[in-house]
Amino acid sequence: MKYMQAVLAVVGIFVISGAIAPAQADDDKRSVTLYTSALRATSFNCNAVNVSRKTLRIAISIIDMDGVPLSAAPAAQTLPGTEASNDVDTSPTPTDAYCKFEVFGTDDRNDLRVVLATALIRTFDQDGQTKIPVFVVKAIEGH
């Protein structure tokens, strides 16, 4: 009889510890990081849309090619179907930079859609005297 009580006690401990572990693994411990490719521009706008059914915390950084953050937004609560964004202007100096999206509350990268939109103004000489400004806009998805 003592043997059976000991077995039941051990099984009970395993069951209880198994039930506690998932309760401790709250959503903030699950995270995923997404990146865009780098683009050359003077205006950078990083956008993330929460396409999941739960609230996520999203931190967005714009980072140059030397690894220096040009702009970093703290993690913001983002409700389902809403957008989080961060932007920076480096005018008049064109810079190569990319977006980094740190998402807390999920480990599924399909819960988010991310994009980097950039703008760059270039000028061209028409006849050696007349400068024609050209507005170049690009957008790329991140994964």
Task: Render each residue's pLDDT in the chain as its tens digit; 143 residues.
Answer: 555 555 555 555 554 544 444 443 455 579 999 999 999 999 999 999 999 999 999 999 999 999 999 999 999 999 999 999 999 999 999 999 999 999 999 999 999 999 999 999 888 887 878 888 889 999 999 98
Amino acid at 128: G
Query: Domain segments of the chain: what residues?
Result: 27-141
Domain at 27-141, CATH class = mainly beta
Structure-block tokens of residue 68: 């220096």
User: Structure pTM?
Assistant: 0.77
Site of tokens 């572990």? 21
CA–CA distances in Å: residue 10 to residues 6, 17, 23, 143: 6, 11, 20, 45
Distance CA 34, CA 70 (A): 17
- Which of the 8 DSSP states describes residue 65? T
